[in-house]
Chains A and B, each alone.
Chain A
Amino acid sequence: MKIDAAPSQLSDALRAIFFARDREVWLAKNCYARLDPSTTRTGLALADRYLAWVSIAETALTAPAAIVTFANIPQNFRTLALPYQARTDAVAESDNVRLQFNGSAVGYDTLESYFNSAGNVNIPGLNGVSMLAGVAEAANSRANNFSPTLLFIEGYARADRDKWAFGQSGVFGDASANADLYNTLDRGRWRSLAAVTSITLYPAVGPNFVAGSIFQLYGVL
């Protein structure tokens, strides 16, 4: 089913009131709805039985950037999903991507798990300045490649618990050897009850994300 209409014209069956204007909303069971850019409605979204990702914002870099921040994040979703494809200018075959919430540089616990043909390595980090949010291809990686990462931040708007993030990522470098191919799992926690209102990403080495890197932020209902 495809609907292309203002919220007021959506069918009762959807029972949807959309959060943002000029946004696309994906529903389960291949349902899709796009809002009329002219609407100014704000509010909640969707009936409970639908699982939906609502596009909040995205940026596709047309020039290098040292840091990318999503600011003024709306507080009316259960979870945030942050898919991105990144490459940095670090002189290496891979780089790490670090994350901070609300501009804070204290209280991050991280467990990085790397998997490749040599086995797996788990690296814990306690009470650091940032958390690991995935990996990125870098300057010595095969050209025209941007590592895909999918990051979830559960309960980001709640004020009664620390904030957790879980991400899956991968990097293949220049693919000159089997061991170049990595998958990673990253689990991080911010020791803070504060609701997450901004997310900042930056390369661990970089110092820049290169043009063509894409960062998207979705609210998950």
Chain B
Amino acid sequence: MQPHVIVDCATGKVTLRPVTAEEITERLERVAADEARERDEHLKQLKESIVQSSIELEQRKALVEEGIFTGKDLADCEARLEEAKVELAAWKKPAAK
């Protein structure tokens, strides 16, 4: 097992502390759980964003028909929805490298 390198900034001395297999396993599990949680949370937010944008789009379509909103308001909302969909499709790519 590879060591933990500790650089003492006060003295410049470098010491090597043995790292146990259990320590590495525990560390990797914690990081993996953390990163999985981050990605799950992000995915959840993206999906919620798409649902919200879809609802907002339908509401705006009705308001455009009533003449309260303009076509530009609709286009902005459609752009946000499309952006969220593109991000949802792409978000896994870095993790898949």
Residues in chain A within 8 A of chain B (CB atoms): 22, 56-59, 61, 63-74, 92-94, 96, 98, 105, 110, 112, 114, 116, 118-119, 121-126, 128-130, 173, 179-180, 182, 202, 204-208, 215, 217
Alpha-carbon gap, A205 to B32, bound state (A): 8
Chain A residues closer than 8 Å to B2, beta-carbon distance: 63-66, 207-208
Q: Could you jot down 6 A-B contacts, CB within 8 Å? A: A57-B9, A66-B1, A173-B97, A204-B35, A207-B24, A208-B2
Distance between Cα atoms of A59 and B8 in the complex (Å):
10
Given contacts A65-B3, A66-B3, contact A72 B9 (CB under 8 A): yes
Contacts of A61 in B (CB 8 A): 5
Cα of A33 to Cα of B27 in the assembled complex, Å: 41
A57-B4 contact, Cβ under 8 Å, with A118-B93, A121-B91, A125-B38: no
Q: Is B12 an interface residue (CB 8 A)?
A: yes
Cβ of A128 and Cβ of B5 under 8 Å apart?
A: no
Interface positions of B (Cβ within 8 A of A):
1-12, 14, 16, 19, 24, 27-28, 30-32, 34-35, 37-39, 41-42, 45, 86-87, 90-91, 93-94, 97
The interface residues of chain A lying within 8 Å CB-to-CB of B34 are: 125, 128-130
- Inter-chain CA distance A191–B91, complex, in Å, is 27
Shortest 8 CB-CB contacts between residues of A and residues of B: A125-B38, A67-B4, A72-B10, A128-B34, A114-B94, A65-B5, A64-B2, A208-B2
Q: What separation, in Å, do the CA atoms of A128 and B38 have in the docked complex?
A: 9
Q: When the two chains form their complex, are residues A119 and B87 in contact, meaning their CB atoms are under 8 A apart? A: yes
B contact residues around A67 at 8 Å (CB): 4-5, 19
Do residues B6 and A71 form an inter-chain contact, with CB atoms below 8 A?
yes
